[in-house]
Copies of this chain bind each other. A is one copy, B any other.
Amino acid sequence: MQRYLVNKNKINKSIVLIEGNDVHHIKNVMRMKIGENILVFTDNQELFLCEIIEISDTVQAKIIGNVESKNELNKNITIAQGLINRDKTEEVIRRLVELGCNNYQPVIMDKSIIKYDDKMTDKKNNNRLDRLNRIIKEASEQSQRINLMNVYNPIFFNNLIKSIDDYDLVLFCHVEFKDQNNIKEVLKANLIDNYPNINNILVIIGPESGYSKKEIDAIMNTKAIPISLGKRVLRTETAPLSIMSILAYEVENNHE
């Protein structure tokens, strides 16, 4: 069944008001009629079964039931990645939503090919985030998630390091560790065998050209655990999809 995200404040008693692009989608893409059912989810992570009761320039739907969504992972996963270009960022974000990720944090790193423009106006920054949030909304509807992934403005590497203590488990992905750490053993010892205590997971991924020596030293001085995502060199936009697939696989199939 088709899903649409609405702001909580667009629900008045049991009537949901749908506006904007979703109206076009309901009317012209799905060609839905009055009386047909849709799912509506809110930024509050509620999910409702609704019946369409009016189609005009907006669509009105009546809530006919609550639905429990079991599509979210029960761990909170943040991917922090060296700044990559806009096209790659958008694609990574779209796929991370499908794979169940909760937060995406771009990080300004020494060897990022993309340079962060710190003179970028707030307006430009907000436009950029708006666009990413539209992608997240679409991907959430398509993949049937009700918990919207958060995406943030880029932060400096030092601030990433400072945030590490906020997480229960921090994975530091670097191809140079391919002969040292068995990722499956790392996840068994630090996630599976300690499952109830691990709720917030941070994954650190480098930019195209990798980390600087200074950055590696800084991360290695924290509690972050170095892992490699296999023996082959993954492009920076493949790495988040690989680790997110693995984490979803381990988390979703683990019974507390």
Q: Which residues of A contact B (CB under 8 A)?
A: 70-71, 95, 98-100, 142-145, 182-185, 229-235, 238, 241-243, 245-246, 248-250, 252-254
Contacts and interface: CB of A to CB of B under 8 A. Distances in A.
Contacts of A142: 233, 235
A203 to B, nearest CB: 13
A203 B122 CA distance: 47
Copies in the complex: 2
A232 B185 contact: no
A230 B71 CA distance: 8
B98 A235 contact: yes
A238 B99 contact: yes
Given A99-B230, A99-B234, A242-B245, 8 more contacts: A70-B231, A98-B233, A98-B235, A185-B253, A230-B249, A241-B241, A241-B245, A245-B246
B238 A95 contact: yes
Given A182-B253, A184-B253, A253-B185, A98 B234 contact: yes
A230 B100 contact: yes
Contacts of A182: 253
A184 B254 CA distance: 9
B183 A253 contact: yes
A95 B250 CA distance: 21
Nearest to A72: B231
